[in-house]
Amino acid sequence: MDDKIKEKIVTSFKEKRDYEETTINSYLTRLDKLFEFYSGIEPLKISKRQVQKYAYALRKQNKSASLIRHLIYACEFFYDELHGTNHGDYGIRLPVKREKNSELFTQQEILDLIDSKTVSVQASPYWFSILLPLNLLQK
């Protein structure tokens, strides 16, 4: 990203939005990656459709909803607020946050497994992350 554009973005984020440094850096990174993706095009000439295509590419790469949301916010600020290009709503559906499935064991189940000194071949990696350190402590 051009230093002149970068300085303008940082100054505007601080003056207009009073964002923290970490938020500004995150938004700058998103814009920088977008500009790098379309390196053959001047940043101000990147169209709304191109931003959408880039966001969909990120989605296909299983990037987080937060990362894509930061891209959208950064583009809204850069194109609409800072330069008045009126990209408008990007209409991008964010990935659904997946629920994490935890396999938890009771203390007694862990102790029973350690005492048995055998572990099923079909045991999940989670078991090994618990059993190995516990088993080493017993020696």
Domain-located, residue 15: yes
State the Cα–Cα distance between residues 68 and 63, nearest whole angstrom: 7
70/117 same-domain check? no
| CB distance 27 to 20 below 8 Å | no
Backbone angles phi, psi at 62, to 5 degrees: 60, 35
Supply the range of the domain harboring residue 119. Answer: 107-138
Whole-number average pLDDT of the chain? 80
- 102 within some domain: no
Residue 96 lies in a domain: no
- Which pLDDT does position 94 carry in this prediction? 76
Of residues 126 and 49, more confidently modeled:
49
Judge residue 40's burial from the number of C-beta atoms within 10 Å of its C-beta, 0-12 exposed, 13-18 middle, 19 or more buried.
exposed
**Closest to 1 measured CA to CA, from 48, 49, 33, 40:** 33
**117 lies in the same domain as 64:** no
> Are residues 77 and 111 located together in one domain of the fold?
no
Tell me, what's the pLDDT at 121? 47
Q: Residue 23: pLDDT band by 50, 70, 90 thresholds?
A: confident
My answer on whether 128 and 66 are in the same domain is no
Q: Which two tokens stand for residue 13?
A: 């984020």
Tell me, yes or no, whether 12 and 58 share the same domain.
yes
Tens-place pLDDT, residues 55-68: 999 989 989 889 99
The domain total for the chain is: 2
| pTM greater than the 0.75 cutoff | no
Split at pLDDT 50, 70, 90, the class of 11 is confident
Dihedral (CA of 58, 62, 63, 69) sign:
positive
Examine residue 62 and state whether it is found in any structural domain, yes or no: yes
Q: Is residue 88 part of a domain?
A: no
- Residue 65: C-alpha distances to residues 19, 73, 96, 122, 126 (Å): 20, 12, 7, 33, 26
For residue 12, which of 66, 84, 90 has the smallest C-alpha distance? Answer: 84
Query: pLDDT for 86-96, tens place per residue?
Result: 777 878 877 67
Same structural domain, 25 and 62: yes
Do the domain assignments include residue 95? Answer: no
CATH number of the domain bearing residue 25: 1.10.150.130
Mean pLDDT value across residues 36-42: 94
pLDDT digits (tens, 9 = 90+) for 97-137: 666 666 677 778 777 777 776 555 455 555 556 555 554 44
